[in-house]
Each structure stands twice: as structure tokens, then as C-alpha cells.
Structure 1
Amino acid sequence: MPSIKKVAVIGTGVIGAGWIIRCLAHNKIVYAFDKDPKLKNSLIKEIKRTWPFVKKLFKKNKLNLKNFYYFTSLEKTIKDADFIQECATENYALKTKLMSRIGNYAKTNAIISSSSSGLLPTRIYSKCKNPQRSLIGHPFNPVYLLPAVEIVPGKKTSTRYLNQAKNFYKSISMNPIMVKKELPGYLSDRLQEALWREGLHIINEGYATTEDLDRAIEDGPGLRWSLMGTFLTFHLAGGKAGMKHMLEQFGPALKLPWTKLKAPKLTKNLSSRIISGTKNQSKGKSVSMISNIRDEYLVELQMMRKKYEKKLR
């Protein structure tokens, strides 16, 4: 299959908009779909807000909106697309019905990818025509800046289409993570969910505030995680003998009651603590203002990280 040039993005929320921006930055022709025509102006506004960060990260000179098309008809959106990225609400019934429609309208060899954060592809595509070309392409927010994408196959997905999807994501400067087989929550979200549940317990039992927990990550392991993950970090913690010594020394701690992976009940009191805590952390700044600060940081961080990535990867 020749290089993928025409991309359809189904849904223009936060994730869908991120895909659209990233694809436009890599000279793809983008067909965007949403039922509400009024959302087009909001989408263009978001494209323009993010462009200074995208331009700097990918070293692009100008934004070409001539490659951008907005439709309120699903059939018109996908009929000529080589690659379809679905970004609808995380709901099995909704996605299964939507994928059935997409499969009927799409070209027979068009790859269909869902941005789902944890649903099983075999179930999502159970009523989709030619399910061998269907898969999960789970990105991370902000999609227009972060390079990771988890590619998850369904039971009927063919290796041929997995490789084509991998090459496509690489063509838009992403680092695909090939998940061996489907599992709920995939990889990163399962790890994030464990951290999230632990945090809820700590706040619920009054040991810390949301800001305390964020600082514990931001000023500690978070700084290491931007270059190396948990396993390589723990390998270094073992000294000269590496992970072998680390497991011998700290392995017994796995039996200690340090974690509570079962989530606490999200009561009104716990919700109130989390909401008020994050409001205090925002210090009066809007979500848009904080997003701009985050985006500027992520661009600078990734540009700096490339120097060190080459020495490790």
C-alpha cells in the first residue's frame, strides 16, 4: 500500500482535534467529521492556538488549512480516506454501531483505528466489515505533541494492517507501542489507573492534598520518567548488579501493605476534596492558560530529550 495521505478523523473533541492538528502538521489531507456544523469554528480556533507549539516541535513554516475539510456527513468524510481515526465517546454500544457504519462506507483497504482508551477491539469491531483492517490507535493528550501511540490488535486484525498502521503513525512523528494482544485498559492507562486509585485512597484518608501528591510525582519520579520508565529506573536502583540486586533487596516489600489497588468509592466528600484541591492548584488560571504553559513545556522538554534519547534507545 502506498503512503497514507488522506486521513479521516471521526469526532472533533480534545482527542479528535489533536489528531487533526498533528496530521495537518505532517501535510496529510484531513477530513474531519462531527454532527454539529458550529463546532468547525471552535476547531479552527484550537488549531490556530496550538500551531505555535506544533510549528516549533516539528519545524514547520506555515499552517496549510487548504488540506482541512469539515463534514457533517459520515459517508462523505470517509469515502476517500486511506486511514480512519475514530474518536467517539468511550462506550461499547456506541462504538460498535459506529464501526459498523464506518466499515460500510470506507474503502475496503482503508485502515480503521479507534482512539479508545481501554475498550477491547474485538468487541468494538464485532459488526464491522473486513475486521482484519481494524485496530486500536490509543494516543496521549495532547495528541498534537506527545509521540506515544499504543497499537492494539483485535483477534481478527492482520499483521499486514498492523504494520501499515505502525508506518503511518511513524510518518506523523509518533513512536508506536505494539501491544502483543488485546487487554482492557491496554498498557499506559493501566499503570496510570493504579497511580490514580492509590491517590484517591490517600486523599480520602486525609494523608495529603491533590497538590501534595502532584508534587510528589513532579519533583520526584516524574523527572526520571520523562527519560526512562519504571523498569529501567529500578534497574539503576540496584547498583552495579542492576535489577537482580534490586529484586533481592526490595522484592520482599511487595508483601507489605503499601498499596490499595481496589478503587475507593467516589463519594461527594472525596469528589469535593479533589475538585477544590485542583482548583487551588490552578491559582485562578483557566484551563486554556494552563494548557498553553503545558504545551510550551512539552515542546521544550522533547527537544531537549532527543539529545539523551539517542544515548539510551
Structure 2
Amino acid sequence: MSRPAPQDVRTVVCAGAGVIGGGWVAYFLARGYRVVAWDPAPDGEQRLRHLVAAAWPALTELGLAEGASIDNLSFEPDLAKACAQADFVQESAPEDLELKRTLLADIDAATPEGVVISSSTSGYGMSEMQDKCTHPDRTVVGHPFNPPYLIPLVEVVGGASTSPDAVQWTADFFTLAGKSVIRMEREVPGFVANRLQEALWREALHMVENGEATVEEIDLSITDGPGLRWAFMGPMLTFHLAGGQGGMAHMLDHFGPSLLSPWTRLEAPELTQELRDAVVDGCEREAAGRTIDDLVAERDRGVIAILRATGRA
């Protein structure tokens, strides 16, 4: 099996060029790749070029890779002809399982041997989508966040028939392409970030329905509250600092009983010793030698920077 090394990828095929697919096109162009796009919509090319042109000023401000140019984009109306040119494929079709299963099989049939095929699906597992493929071992989820040309995160996970090598290759490729990568060890519906977003979203809907908070209050509670900290530390390190010098261990031991309080409509897991230790150990790994004082100073600098950048300080 021949597969280009991640650093040798030159041509990326984007199959599906709507909001997400078009965002991928803009991103890959800005990173210096040649991009071949395909979309079945009659006005697909026109909409795609409009999206790329609209995204280009922001990408230019962030800094373009050497050789990056909108001129490196070509639109191919024939899917097989597009895929035949691929060193890597990113599929971004609508969230319709049967559509994705059929499309991935068609892409698989037309793409050179060994070339990885990645899907932008936001909820389906690759195990659900790869069963029509002749070579499912090279199909991987590469889940981005909108807009893909600005938001760094990509969640990478394979399916039951995906080879571990293809998953690692995809994680390496996205990392080289400038993305922040979560390489998941197992399939979970909704992956990581969407599950967390969904928990917050569901609780927000409950609060509106029950008259407990308004839409404006809910948004303000995040933008002027924990969202300022989550932007650079996330919920785990944020709670690590809530324990003071004792860190996450003290936080869990002190506040753990509150998990039984009816603060949300979600059922909390039992705070077993194993779960406690896994969370504490994870925070220590993420801190990577930084003391609580180091992290507090880092957090404070970050909050000040965000407040100033958004005109709130």
C-alpha cells in the first residue's frame, strides 16, 4: 500500500463545498496546498469561490503559508476525476447517514490506493459510515469546528475497520497543517467537544423553558463568566485552580458532594476513587510542572488579554 507521508501531501480534495467544506477549502489554500473541490450543487463553484474570497482577508491577517494562493483552487464537477488527484480527501457532505455511506464508498472507489479519506461528520461514527467502502481501513473522522478556517480544533477517530496507522497518519497530517488535534482512542457519539456543547445547550433550553433565565442572561453568564477562562484553560484546569494550592484534589474532596445536588438535569457520575484519581492525575499532566501560582498568573494574563481584545477593559 502506498500512502504519501503527511509532509508530502500537495493536493487535497474537498468533497462537499458548503459552509464546512468551503471553510476547509479556504484553510487548506491558506496553508499552501493545491485544492480540488467537488460539490453536486448547480451553483456549487460560485458559492465556494464567494466563501473563499470572504474568508481570505482573515486568513491573510493570520498569516499565509509560503505559496498560498486562491489561484491554487480548482473545481471539478466529476467526483471520480477529483478524487483521482488526491493525496488526502476531506469529505463534508450534509449530515445524512445514507448519503455519507454512499458518498464515502464512491470516494473510496475513485481515490488512489492508501490515500486517507477523512469525514467532517459532526455526530456519526466512522463505524456507521464505512461499511460500504471497499477499503474502510483508510476512512477516518476528522471533525472540525465552524469556521474550519479559523477554529483550530480537529477531532480524529477511526471506526471499527479503520487501521490505527490511518488514524495516526491523519492526526500527524492535521498537526502539520496547523490544526490542534484530539486523537480519540475510541468512538463516542458526538465526539468530545460536541458532547460538552450539547450538555450546556440542553441545560440552557431547560432554563428558558422553566423561566429560570432569559436567553440574554444565559449568554452573558458564559461570555462574562467561565467563557473568559475556558478560552485558554478549559473546564478542568479552571476547576484545578478552584482548589487553591491543593489543586484538583482539594477541589474534588471539598466540592465532590455537590455532584449530588440538583444543579443540572444531567445525572452526575459517582465520584469513585478511580474517577477522582484520573481527574487529578490528568490535571497534573496538563499543568506540566507549572505550579498553582504559575497557572493563576497565566489565567489572569489571559483574562486581561481577552477583556482588552473584546473592548471590555
TM normalised by structure 1 equals: 0.81
Aligned to 1:197: 202
Letter aligned with residue 214 of structure 1? D
Letter aligned with residue 255 of structure 1? L
- Aligned-residue offset at 1:29: 0.9
With over 3 angstroms needed to count, the CA separation of the structure-2 counterparts of 1:35 and 1:203, relative to structure 1, is same
Residues 104-129 of structure 1: CA distance to partner in whole angstroms, max 9, x if unpaired?
11111110000011111011001112
Aligned to 1:260: 265
- Shift >6 Å, 4+ stretches: none
Aligned to 2:283: none
SS at match of 1:136: strand
Residue 121 of structure 1 pairs with residue 123 of structure 2: no
Residues 107-165 of structure 1: CA distance to partner in whole angstroms, max 9, x if unpaired?
11110000011111011001112111111000011100111100011122222222221
Q: Is the 8 A contact 2:23 2:51 kept in 1?
A: no
Letter aligned with residue 131 of structure 2? S
Q: Aligned pairs, how many? A: 265
After superposition, residues 151-300 of structure 1 pair within 5 angstroms as 151-261=156-266
- Aligned-residue offset at 1:63: 5.8
Q: Aligned to 2:82, which of 77, 83, 90?
A: 77
Between the aligned residues of both structures, percent identity stands at: 41
With over 3 angstroms needed to count, the CA separation of the structure-2 counterparts of 1:123 and 1:201, relative to structure 1, is same
Task: Write the distance in 2 (CA, Å) between the matches of 1:137 and 1:58.
Answer: 23
Aligned-residue RMSD, C-alpha: 1.8
Task: Write the distance in 2 (CA, Å) between the matches of 1:205 and 1:43.
Answer: 42
Task: Write the distance in 2 (CA, Å) between the matches of 1:181 and 1:259.
Answer: 27
- Aligned-residue offset at 1:60: 5.3
Task: Write the distance in 1 (CA, Å) between the matches of 2:134 and 2:29.
Answer: 28
Uncovered stretches (5+) of structure 1, i.e. residues with no partner: 263-300, 306-313
Aligned to 2:285: none
Q: Is the 8 A contact 1:55 1:62 kept in 2?
A: no
- Aligned-residue offset at 1:59: 4.4
Q: Is the 8 A contact 1:147 1:175 kept in 2?
A: yes
TM normalised by structure 2 equals: 0.81
Task: Write the distance in 1 (CA, Å) between the matches of 2:264 and 2:211.
Answer: 15
Letter aligned with residue 20 of structure 1? V
After superposition, residues 122-137 of structure 1 pair within 5 angstroms as 122-137=127-142
Task: Write the distance in 1 (CA, Å) between the matches of 2:40 and 2:32.
Answer: 25
Aligned to 1:96: 101
Letter aligned with residue 154 of structure 2? V
Residues 266-299 of structure 1: CA distance to partner in whole angstroms, max 9, x if unpaired?
xxxxxxxxxxxxxxxxxxxxxxxxxxxxxxxxxx
Higher relative contact order (CA 8 A, sep 6+): 1
